[in-house]
Amino acid sequence: MLFRRLWQHPSTLWAAYTAAALAASAQSLWLRTGKNGYTPYENYVIFRNAYGHLVQGLNPYAPFPEQQWDLFKYSPTFALGMWPFHFLPDAIGLTLWNLLNALPLLWAILHLPGFDGLQRQKIGWFVWLELLISLQNSQSNGLLAAFVLLAWIALERGSLKIAAGWIAGGFFLKLFGFLAILPGLVYPRRWVLLSWSAAWIAFMAALPLLVLTPDQLIQVYSWWLELLRADHTASLGLSVMGWLDAWFGWQPPKMVVLLAGAVLLILSVWSVGRRRTAFGLPEQRERAYLWASVLLWMVLFNHKAESPTFIIALCGVAIWYWSTSRPTAWMWILLWLAFVLSSLSPSDLFPAHLRTNVVQPYVLKVVPCIFIWLTITGQLCIPFRPNPQRD
């Protein structure tokens, strides 16, 4: 009974998320040397270095093998946002970066609209391990998931200006973050949301002018677009494209798969938008399903998706399951398949032989998420009322 009360107390979750950030940082700092002599936290190093390259007038998207192992691939605004970390020792900067990717996400989870306290805590515990995997790679995915959830919270509260700011922030963090605009279209005053989003995007796009001239900023954006064009052909990742190749040996054009996924997502938004209640909104469950669908889509149709990206998708999985008042047995099976294959399989808790010879070759990490996304899409496009809506 004591353990149950402790597990259900929000302070325990805050302690667990803080511990995950601190432990991931300590582990990376303690290892000291990673692949090919670089640090084990090279993603953070790349993000931190981007600010220095930006203000020095260098091409932030060029290779710097003497400083980092890979290319910086994010927006100039992201690079500018890393300025505080540029001046910090790695031990402090990495820890603060991981905390930034953990604690805002937990705050958003604990304020999700339409869920009771116990449901929110279950969601927080469900995604904790996946968050730890992302933090061990010093990635920005926890922060992006937080931005999407914060946009949802703001929209439910009627704060269109704030929601638009989170949506624009997600866009400059990772391009797919802008897809959070789509669920926003089922809310009243969508044109106000679109207008504020455009204003925020223009403002954030111009922020690097604090350290660059207009000509320099135009050049940096041209370098970024050039990188994005080249990067699109690079890999298949843990995505729908990677699954089609691993299971069927089929590599359709990426744009075809992307467009097919976009059509289904837009169809979901349109279907939900048509089913408004007397309050001018679709049902709470359908709104939750739509946000879950977008979170999953951001990973499944990203040809560069890697294991640390799945904190975004697992948030979608958890929202889908716990927004249903009485989940069926098949939903429970899909939920735990996603947990085992998406969260456990990359960890040392999973048998190494199975991970190497089964999970990785058949990209099983992504498979439950694909089936859940297709399920959500069907539930949104074909209206039905399988369960009474919770208060």
CA-to-CA distance for 135 and 97, rounded, in angstroms? 9
Nearest alpha-carbon partner for 110 in 100, 118, 102, 101 = 118
Averaged in consecutive runs of 10 residues, what is the pLDDT profile of the chain (391 residues)?
A: 69 96 95 75 96 96 94 97 95 98 98 95 96 95 98 97 98 95 95 97 98 97 93 77 92 92 96 82 94 97 90 98 92 96 84 87 94 96 57 36
Residue position matching structure tokens 């429970």: 332
Domain spans, the chain: 2-381
Residue-wise DSSP of 284-322 = HHHHHHHHHHHHHHHHHT-TT--GGGHHHHHHHHHHHHH
**What is the structure's pLDDT at 79?**
98
Residue in the structure block whose two tokens are 């990206």: 309
Q: What does the pLDDT read at residue 389? A: 43
CB 362 within 8 A of CB 246: yes
> By C-alpha distance, which of 216, 222, 146, 202 is closest to 177?
146
Q: Distance (Å, rounded) from C-alpha 210 to C-alpha 216?
A: 11
Residue 1: predicted pLDDT: 61
From CA 137, how far away is CA 40, in angstroms rounded?
8
Torsion, Cα of 169, 172, 173, 178 (10° steps): 70
Residue 188 is encoded by which pair of tokens?
């009243």
| Secondary structure class of 387 (helix, strand, coil) | coil
pLDDT confidence of residue 140: 96
The string of DSSP codes covering 321-342 is HHTSSS--HHHHHHHHHHIIII
Identify residue 314 by its one-letter amino acid code: L
**pTM to 2 decimals?**
0.94
Q: 10 Å Cβ neighbour count for 179? A: 20
**Residue 382: its pLDDT value, please?**
85
At 227-263, the pLDDT tens digits run: 998 876 657 789 999 999 999 988 899 899 999 999 9
Query: How much is the CA Rg of the chain, to the nearest whole Å?
Result: 21
CA 18: distance to chain centroid? Answer: 19
